[in-house]
Amino acid sequence: MNTTPAPRIAIIGAGPGGLTCARILQQHGVTATVHDRDAGPTARDQGGTLDLHADNGQIALREAGLLEEFFRLARPEGQEMRQMDPAGTILFHHVPEPDERFKPEIDRGRLRELLLTSLQPGTVRWGHTLRTVSGPAEGPRRLHFTNGTTFEADLVVGADGAWSKVRHAVSQATPRHTGVSFLEAWFHDVTTRHPEIAELVGQGSAAAADGERGLFAQRNGGDHIRVYLIQRVPAGWITDRGLTPQDTDGIRALLLERYGEWSPRLRRLITDNDGLYVDRPIFALPVPHIWEHDPTVTLLGDAAHLMPPLGVGVNLAMLDACDLALAVARHDTVGEAVRAYEQTMLPRSTEMARLLDGAADGLMSTELPDFATADNP
C-alpha cells in the first residue's frame, strides 16, 4: 500500500480463509487484526480432514510462504479413494503415486495451527464474537462485539463462515437447507479398537450409496476415522422423530432401519462409533450471491459463497484470501482493492456455485463420481 496512514484492516473469523488473508497481508508489510469468537485456538474441535488442491488452496499457501511446511505436515496417502456398493464390493479404487501432490490431506486443526504460528504475535483477538457492523459505507466502520468492546476499521473482511455477521452489512441473503443432511460419527484408535473399519476405509476415503442414502468415511490423522451418513431429510429430522441429538441409541436404531439392506460390514460404520452422532444439515447460499460494491466491507469463503461440501469450500476460501490480500497490497486504497478483488472472486464463485447447485444429491447417487475433482465433506 502506498497510502498513509496505513489502513486498519479487521478480519472476522480465524478459519483457514481469515488466517491466510492475515498471513499474506503480513508477508507484504500490511497489518491486519483477526477477531474470532472462540475463547482460544483449542476451544473446540476444528473438524475432520481436508485436501488442498494444487490449483487453488496450494496457490494461497505458496503465496503465504507455507507450502513446503504444508507438504511436511500433509498426508499424501490420504488421496486414496474407494467407491463401494451397499454390499461392500469395491467398484473403484484409486491408490495415489508416492509423489502425488495434487490434493494431499491435512487435518483442519493442523492447518489452523500452521497458519496461526506463522502470524505475528497478537494478530488474533480471541473471545470476540461480532454482533454488528456500523458506520458509513465510505468508512470508517465500527465493529461491535458481544463482550462490549468495539473496534474501528477502514476495511472489514467477513471470513466468518456460513452464518456470517459481516454479510449483513452488504447482503440480505441467508443460507437455505439443501434438503440433504450429514450425520457424523467418530472412530478413535482405529488400528487397535476398530481394525475391520480401518481396513475397510484404507488410508484415505471410502464411499458408498444406493440412490437414496449415502456414506462417506474418511481417515484422519492420529488414527481417527470420521464417517458421514448422508440422507435426503429435513433439517430437523432428528427432532421430527421425537429424538434428541443425545439419544444415540434411538438415532442408531433409526439409521439401522434406513440402511437395513446394506451389508453388515458397512453397517458397522453406523453401529460401532465412539460417542454421539453429530448432526450436520447442509446449507447453501442462493445462486448467484452477489452484492453492490462496498469500499469498506467485503466477504470471502463461506461468508461469500456457501456451497455444498463437494471439494471447494476451504480451497476457494484460501484462494479468495490470497486474491484479496494481494489486491490490498497492490492498490493505493482499500476501496480500489476491494473492487479489484470482487471482480475476480464473484464471477469465479458464481460459476462454481452454479455447478454445485443441487449437487449434494449426487452424494447418494449410484453413479461413480469423478474422483479427480471430488472432495471431502
Task: Note the pLDDT tens digit of each residue in 292-319.
Answer: 999 999 999 999 999 998 878 999 999 9
Residue 153 and residue 35 in contact, taking contact as beta carbons nearer than 8 Å? no
**Residue 90 included in any domain:** no
> What pTM value is reported for the model?
0.93
Confidence check: pLDDT of 10 > 50: yes
Q: Which of 283, 313, 345 is the last residue of a domain?
A: 283
- Is the same domain home to 290 and 264? no
Q: Is 55 annotated as a binding residue?
A: no
Supply the CATH number for residue 253's domain. Answer: 3.30.9.30
Domain check: are 261 and 317 in the same one? no
Confidence of residue 366 (pLDDT cuts 50, 70, 90): confident
- Confirm whether 93 is domain-assigned: no
Residue 243 in domain: yes
Q: How far is CA 165 from CA 39, 86, 172, 283, 295, in A?
A: 18, 41, 11, 16, 17
Residue bearing cell 447453501: 284
CATH number at residue 159: 3.50.50.60
Are 47 and 88 in contact by the 8 Å Cβ rule? The answer is: no
Q: Are residues 292 and 274 in the same domain?
A: no
Instruction: Note the pLDDT of residue 368.
Output: 63
Identify whether residues 110 and 37 lie together within a single domain: yes
User: What is 198-241 written as a DSSP string?
Assistant: HHHHTTSEEEEE-SSEEEEEEEETTTEEEEEEEE---TTHHHHT
Q: 78: which 3 cell numbers? A: 490420504
Q: What percent of the chain has pLDDT over 70?
A: 96
Residues 116 and 248 in one domain: no
Q: State yes or no: 23 annotated in a binding site.
A: no
Q: Which residue in the block uniquely carries the three cell numbers 479398537?
A: 193
C-alpha cell recorded at residue 295:
469500499
Query: Does 355 lie in the same domain as 238?
Result: no
Between 40-44, 210-214, 245-249, the lowest mean confidence (pLDDT) is in: 40-44
Based on the domain organization, do 130 and 189 belong to the same domain? no
Asked if residue 51 belongs to a known ligand binding site, the reply is yes
- How many domains does the chain fold into? 2
Do 299 and 157 fall within a single domain?
yes
In a domain, 95, yes or no: no
* 130 and 247 together in one domain: no
Residues 162, 175 contacting (CB under 8 angstroms): yes
Residue 252, in any domain of the structure: yes
Q: Do 75 and 117 fall into the same domain?
A: yes
Q: State yes or no: 226 annotated in a binding site.
A: no
Is a pLDDT exceeding 50 seen at residue 371? no
- Same domain for 245 and 190: yes
What are the pLDDT digits (tens) for 91-137? 999 999 888 899 999 999 999 999 999 999 999 999 999 999 999 99
State how far the alpha carbon of 115 is from the alpha carbons of 70, 164, 317, 324, 375, in Å: 10, 21, 14, 17, 22
Query: Residue 322 is part of which domain span?
Result: 9-79+101-174+285-360
Q: Tell me phi and psi for residue 30, to 5 degrees.
A: -105, 130
Q: Are 185 and 249 part of one and the same domain?
A: yes
